[in-house]
Structure 1
Amino acid sequence: MSQTKVKKLTPEQAALIPVYREKWRAIALSTGPIDRSQAAETILLKMTCPNTGFVQALRVPPEVRSAKEAIRWVNWDINPEKFSVQT
């Protein structure tokens, strides 16, 4: 599953940034009840930075079925075997 890398936003896309920022801010700060059926379908990739210990969880498409496939998806289809450790 590959993605197309966006190199520059169109003026229309740039104009929507404040709209989406507010949408996701409202979702993040929401204290309302969750939709359990939607939450059950959410697939997350949990990653931990080996240098800082920072833990990050990213949503991936529901058709992703393995951690390796999820890593490829969030890293623009780069095989995790090709990653290098930077110190």
Structure 2
Amino acid sequence: MNLIGTKWKPLVLFHLLEGDLRSGILQKQIPEISNKMFTQTVRDLEKDGLISRKVFPVVPPKVEYGLTKRGKSLEDILRSLDSWGSQDSIK
């Protein structure tokens, strides 16, 4: 739970399940997250080995995030959480 137990980490990981995303696109998919919290979250996830960060040497800078093998191992858990949260019958 220490690895994914914050408000934003599961959301970032969930959005990366479909493939690598550029930093700006990933952040736009979570509109409620601030720039500071986004940066902190992806740094923590990278430090924990759940996501990888790829920097392209272009102007303007291009950064992509993707799941590592360890991050991909959380897919069933993340999809189950999404499914559980989508159920209307839970009150």
TM-score range, shorter chain: under 0.3
Which has more radius of gyration? 1
TM (normalized to structure 1)? Answer: 0.22
Give the structure with the higher percent helix: 2
